[in-house]
Chain A
Amino acid sequence: DAGITQSPRHKVTETGTPVTLRCHQTENHRYMYWYRQDPGHGLRLIHYSYGVKDTDKGEVSDGYSVSRSKTEDFLLTLESATSSQTSVYFCATKGERSYEQYFGPGTRLTVT
């Protein structure tokens, strides 16, 4: 357990509004990841970070941006939410010398 919290846990927002999801970890892990989980698609990587201010795109990055100004925080922003971004979002972290990713509790986002 990497001490990962996500906020908010649930959010309902309207199409076209900006949304920011926060991931906070207490384990000083270097690597952090954002996934979305949808029925029939499993877990898909949106963006990841390999250090402070070092981020890169995953397989489904369109419409999302991320920022990491501190080791412990990784933010996911939907600049203009769309209904297709209704999903459950998970943050995960990984230590320097391990390949094991640990997941947060998730954020359920509904875009109406």
Chain B
Amino acid sequence: GQQLNQSPQSMFIQEGEDVSMNCTSSSIFNTWLWYKQDPGEGPVLLIALYKAGELTSNGRLTAQFGITRKDSFLNISASIPSDVGIYFCAGRSGGTSYGKLTFGQGTILTVHP
């Protein structure tokens, strides 16, 4: 089946630093979604991308849909302690897939004050 490789697996950064993470696949996706999960809670949608090359921002978060349609990137600027959590990418391929998503393994972000 389709797989998404998300990297890095974990990051330890100082408050105020910028963060970059990415997802890559050998398959083409038509939609990329980025989620954040806090401990004990469900994933929360951060950004949705629908077109190759698209760059979308949500506050301090910026995500890009790769030109090849096989990758996506998430950047967090000026990190703060509440950015701590697990970040997941998810991709949707085309066709009658009933919106099924393939998820990356997640990037665990730790922010030191």
| A residues whose Cβ falls under 8 Å from a Cβ of B | 4, 31, 33, 40-45, 48, 50, 56, 58-59, 90, 94, 99-106
Chain A residues, CB < 8 A from B103:
42-44
User: Could you tell me if A43 and B45 are in contact, using CB atoms closer than 8 angstroms?
Assistant: no
The stretch from B11-19, B65-73, B92-100 touching chain A is B92-100
| B residues whose Cβ falls under 8 Å from a Cβ of A | 1, 31, 33, 35, 40-45, 48, 50, 88, 90, 92, 98-101, 103-106
Chain A residues, CB < 8 A from B31:
99
Using CB atoms, name the residue of chain A closest to B89: A42
- The interface centre, meaning the residue of B1, B43, B99, B101 with most chain A CB atoms within 10 A of its CB, is B99
User: Could you tell me if B98 and A100 are in contact, using CB atoms closer than 8 angstroms?
Assistant: no
**Which of B44, B98, B105 contacts A50 (CB under 8 A)?**
B98
Chain A residues, CB < 8 A from B104:
42
Chain B residues, CB < 8 A from A104:
42
User: Could you tell me if B100 and A100 are in contact, using CB atoms closer than 8 angstroms?
Assistant: no
Q: A94-B99, A105-B41 are in contact. Are A43 and B48 (CB under 8 A)?
A: no
**Which of B40, B42, B50, B105 contacts A103 (CB under 8 A)?**
B42
Using CB atoms, name the residue of chain A closest to B9: A40
User: Could you tell me if B43 and A31 are in contact, using CB atoms closer than 8 angstroms?
Assistant: no
